[in-house]
Structure 1
Amino acid sequence: MTILTFLMFVLLTRQSLSLSRPQCHSCEQTSCNCSRQNHTKVPAAPSNLITELDLSFNRLGTITKKDFVAYARLWSLTMSNNRIKTIQEQAFSPLSNLEKLDLSFNRLDRLSAGWFENLFSLRHLNLLGNRYSVLDQGNLFQPLTRLKTLQFGGPYFQSVRKNDFSGLSGLEEVIFDGQNLKLYAGGSLRQIGPIKHVTLGLNGPFQINPALVEAILSDVVHPNTTLTFTDTWFLTKNHMIPFKVAFKGGTTQVILKKINITVTAGLEFLELLSNSNIVMFALEEIHFLFLYSVHRPYLQTLDCLETVVLKNIDVPEFHMFPALLFLYRLLKVVHMSVLNCKLFAIPCDLSARLTKLEYLDISDNIFSDLALSQMMCDGKGVFLNLETFNISRNYLQSINSQLFTKLEKLENIDMSGNVFHSMPETCFWPPSLQFLNLSSTHLTKVTACLPVSLHILDLSDNALAVFNIELPFLRELHISGNKLSRLPDGPVYPGLTFLSIQNNDLHTISSDNLNSYKNLKRLEAGANTYVCSCDFVTFMTSNSANHRVTIGDGFKSYICDSPDADRGESVVDVRLSVFECHADLAFSLLCLGILAVFLLIAGVCHKFSVVWYIRMTWAWLRAKRKPKLKKGELKYDAFVSYSEMDSGWVEAHLVPELEQAEPPLRLCLHKRDFVPGDWILDNIVDAIEKSHKTLFVLSEHFVRSEWCKYELDYTHFRLFDQNDDSMVLILLEPIDKATIPKRFCKLRKVMNSRTYLKWPDDDNQIPRFWQSLRTAIETPETENGHCLMDTVDLGLRF
């Protein structure tokens, strides 16, 4: 009982703790994105499989040692931009698999080595933007032997001590925000060893304490180190003096990022570079200021400089900017990128001097056709060593291939994002050209202007409806975002190995289409208007091992546009019926089934004489609509129904005996009295309706006659409909019951329920037979006729 009570207590305690913890609203199988959900506590873990947890931009204040007990498999934890002020010593102890920890931009006023004691797997640590002024009491990072990236500092950080980085020996990247740094113990960062990437934000020291900057730089400078300076103002020449330490120390790569700099300070920086071993120099997100007068210095080139990157440069008073003073220093560069700098012209004279240039990227600027022509000296031959040229997203309106004809080493041209609309019918490209990008250029048609030597062609995001230009060496074709309704002809591209044709008007793809490409290995064709026919669905859902071509963009991106029942469904989720997939066979089987049913019905109708009954019923219904004739309107005494095979007896015996007697009887015979040309059924109905009696001459021939059966059936209907005694039966010869067809069911019924006259074998009985027959025909009352017939012992019963 005690154990049971204890277990219940533990269960209720765990449940109450779980209910007290908030829940994350955006969790997948192994990750939770709980950012911006206004949490004040760490949410409860939905499962123990979570490996990524993002808690950024919430209102967390305190992290306890119980918060991450259920997150034992976590390898990425982001808690930036919260209000965290306190972290208990063992809060991260359960996270022995953690590789990334982001605590940036919180309110931590102190750091503790106890946080990191169990984080043996940690590789990336971000402590930027907090309120601590020092890195604990030393040995803070001692347990973090696998750490590769360290970000620390902030507006409150003031001091770096000798042992702050002890234990860190394999760091690859350091980001140090020391904008208000006051003290730095020399050698602190040097003990880490050479660091590949060092980013320094030292705006305050650059302004008021250059010696402190020089001490830091002397510790981090190394030929294999890329130095990045960020969030700093450079206003005078003196602000550039600390760079001498960096350049003398052998640094080969320098990046200035998010910098405000004057033209004077910029030119001074170039002067310092001229005496250095700098190989790569980049300016990113730079704002130039005009605070001091500019004196043109001696234009000395930078002999070691190979790569220059100018990105997002803001020059408010560009008409005063001495661009040539900068660019003429770069005459010996090999790689130059000028990105989004509002560059609108490069003089031909300067282009002619850039003889070593192999890579030129002037994308996202404002070059016009005229400016490009001037830069290329009208195609007379500049940039002769150029291999790659990127002039995408400018203001070009025409394709002028003659500007590049003499560039025999040119292999790659990117002209995407311009506004061409059309291209010339013929062009003259250098024979070395292998890559051409004309995507997003508003082209509606392509011509033979495309260079035959191309290996890679990008025509994505245009308005092409047809593409059939012969390119025998093409290996990759990117033609997504157009209006193509079918794949390009495979035989025209014998060397094609990759085809991207997403977001077009394709309706189907089949193995036959792809087999026309001899060397195609990878296809990306999702986001088209696919008709999910059986062939297409079968092709897409069949075993991928049987496909020679790999679907590179995933089957889930192939969505059905029709039929309507499957619209919006992924092709791998579509299940079509047999009738949809084998329509011809299904239709044939359906027709055969219908034919079989009709044959079965016809057989049944034939066997049971259904057609006869229908025809008779129809005739009877028609007759019922006619007004009933009165006794005085009847024309005949009797209508004689007999088989044509018995006509000899009728004509030789029956007719003379009845019509030549006194008084004579009026008989209706079909041979004599039927109206020629009328439908026979109408003649039969009319004759029966105009006769007092219907005389049936029964024999073996009678039961084999279809018309006799009809006459018998109609008379039988009339018998019950009019409730009269209009039927007289003569048995001409004995009839074997087995020989009577089943369709003569009424004959059986009549012969079982009524008396009849039998043609006698004894000649002495013949006068009495005729007398009885005359009496049956002449007597209008049913009772009298029956009484007389009953006196004659000639009847048979079946």
Structure 2
Amino acid sequence: MLSIVFPMFLLLSMQPTEETEQVNCHTFKHFALYNYVCPPNSQKRIEVAIKPTEHMILVCFEMTNFDNAILPNLNFSSTLIKVSIQNCPIPKNGFKKFLDEFNIAHFVELTFIWKYSNETLEKENFEGLNQLTELVLYRNNLASIDTNLFEHTPNLRTLKLSENNLTKLQNDIFKNLNNLLYLTIAENKISELSRYAFRGLRELRELDFGNNKLREIPSGVFQELVNLKVLYLNYNKLFSLGVNPFSTLKNLIHLALEGNMLTHVSRKYFENNEKLSTINLAWNTNLTFEDKTFSLFNDLVSVLLSNSGIRSVPENLLRGTTNVFDIDLQNNRIPSMPENLFSEMKSLHDLYLNYNEIKSLHPNQFQHLKNLINLDLSHNLITSIDKHLLNGVERLETLILSFNRLKMIHPEIFLNKPNLVILLLNNNKLESVDNSLAALEGSKYIKMINLANNDIADFPYKLMKFLMKNENKYYYATSTEVISHFIESNTIEIYLGNNSISNIRLDYLRPGVMGYNSILEVNISHNPINCDCKASDLVENIHRSPRDGNVILKYDSLRCAGPPDFKNMNLSNLLEKKLTCTLNKNCTTTGICDCIYESKERTLIVDCSRRNITLIPNLLVNEMVKYYDFIKMKHLDVHLEENSLQEVPTEANGYHNVTNLYLQGNRISNIEWIPPSIEVLNIENNSINKFDNSLLNMLNQSNVKKLFLRNNPWECDCTTKEFQKFIREHISQIHNATDILCHFMEVPLVNLDESMLCPIRRGYTLVILSVLLFCLIAIIISVLLCLIYQNEILIWCYSKDICMRFIKEERIDRSKKYDAFVSYAQQDQDFVMKQLVPKLEEADPPYKLCIHVRDWIPGEFITKQIANSVKDSRRTLIVLSNSFLKSMWGRMEFRTAHTAAMEEGRVRVIIIIYGDLDANSVTDDFKSYMRTNTYVEWGDPCFWEKLKDALPRRYKKQKRRTRDSNEQDIELH
């Protein structure tokens, strides 16, 4: 027999594909698992999968008792954490002795599952397993539990008894499990609980009793569960909760009661559960509430009341409960909501009122919900909405009003909704939306508007236009006559065939606007299309495959009605044609130039050639683009060739965005400026004799692709070396570079060597140059070292009090982004944001502050952001109040700043005392700091002077003009 052992050398030697055999067993390795089938090819067998040092899974097939002879010969030299035995009979001599056959040194988690077992587990089965911390007995057909079953497992932390056949829990069955933290008895058939069933479980944190048949809760059954935080009683058959069933559960945070038969909920049920955070009462029967049932629960975050047949909600149901994050009242029978139900819920994030019978809402229903993000009012009977309904709900991101009876939307209802992302208005009776939704222009993050299944007759072009400008991605529209209807397969069909449409503005229906998963089907058959520049998008969409884009065009026959060059031509043959529009509005101040827009390359062409012009015409491009909304200009071509111009255009003439500039055949002698976006520049046949260095720098910084420079009187001397270098480096961009000839010499400039271009003496200067070069290199290296280690040198000198008259704190802190990081409690935000921050940021000079609600990056770990804020700030302002002393994050921010200051040996923390402090709440670290450091008090007449004295000094900045006319900021010390 080949002995299989798992010391480290065997793990390293076995290959993933290697298979070995031992007597009666087939052994193989699959990834990190070692697998054994004993005996192979037999219906009655054992399969073992082992991940060394972690777990072993043993599965039996058609076995009623163990035959040790067929077990694999395994000898573990390392510890396993988990052992799982599935579909196997209970070992006769207990689990410990059975697993000793594998020589497992130690394990702490045991799972035993035998769905078809008729045996009973006894305490002897677990003898010798004192080390167990987790025991899983799923699906073992357990009908009862002996009171001493867990006598040999006193160290259990987790016990799972789900999916058995338990019908009753006797007294004291868990009496030996004093250390148990998690108990799961879900999915049994328990209909009765003995009063002392949970005696001894004082350390229990979570109890899952869901999916049983419990009809009532015995008085005092939870009496000893003083540390319980999570209780699941969901999906039982509870008609009532009795009298104060949870009175001893003072640490309870989460309570699940959904799926029962409760009809009334009283406040007395939860009188002692002040820490309750989540209450779930969904899926009960015709539920009613006592007034103030959940009032004054300061920690309550989630209230789930859906699918419970609720017909009315008391106005004071949640009075004084200010931290609720989400309320779910969907799928009930509520006809109206009390006006002040949500008046104190400033933290409410999600509100679900869908699938009710609401007909109208009070104008002030949601005015206090300033943090509301998601509001679902769909599937109600709402016929109109007051324009003030959403006043104050400025953070709203999702609004669902679908499946109501709305006929119109007031234009002001969506004002000041900058964060709105999803708006669903489908399945109403809306007739027009263009003006109604105009206020959405301020919603910069809008992603989806669903207007399906309404009575809209006119396509909302205005709405589409601003959505496109905002680069929104999702839009669903419907129209009963002209446009389209919404299909749940995300396909939008637009029928426009057999009309007199000459221009179809498909630029409003780009795939980027319609959304990544939406398909727009447009039928435009038999329309007299004018095939000018405005038809460009239409032509391109005809050739776009449905799988390549979001727009599908459907047509039987589509031909051009004009212009004459394209008349009767099929639009499918126009893809390679340049479609143009001659523009009637003047594009220059002279009024003698032709203006043409070509849509394929998105080029605006200004043609002023051969008009005997002597002065540069000013361009009116911006006015043109504003006047013609179909112009999507990417290139601007200006033709000024064959005129009598003596100078080039300047930025003052409106040529900043010119990409192609044609100036050949004029009388130009000097060039001082070129457009920064220039791509093609033609200055052939002029009187230009040189390019100075500033012009060469402009060309190097531009995106110029083609230069035409021939037939100019180019000078060739020492001043031309940089021009020659430019030609050689950009020879591929210069048209016929060898035709650029030196004046009088008639030889190509690019071919001249340095001696011909600029002859010089070479005598004794070589030695001098070498010495100067050596000195220059030494100076550069010294300067670089000082610059590289500047901060280290300054900090070292500062810490040693060396050269202090030459070192200023501003230099030490100049790498810091902020003057101060303001640390405060959420309750003090009004004081900070309305008084402290404005006063400092509007000071002269202003302070640059770091505020977590404004400057922190969403999604980053809070601890990391605290450390970064302190590190990047010259001071840390602590707004010390009673609320701050209760804030865990506030204390962390103080300790982080204080620690950093102590490491540097400098005063970095400034304490602002705000309000009267509770002396008992002030911790020792704050008292110690305040005894040895300066602090300021809000309300002190000299508060601002003292605060600014404590803050780092700020310096005004002045400007001076450098030799190249660029402005720089110089700090005054």
Tell me whether the two structures share a fold, i.e. TM-score over 0.5: no
| TM-score bracket for the superposition, by shorter chain length | 0.3 to 0.5
- Normalised by the length of structure 1, the TM-score is 0.41
| Larger helix fraction of residues | 1
Greater relative contact order structure (CA < 8 Å, 6+ sep): 1
- The structure with the largest alpha-carbon Rg is 1
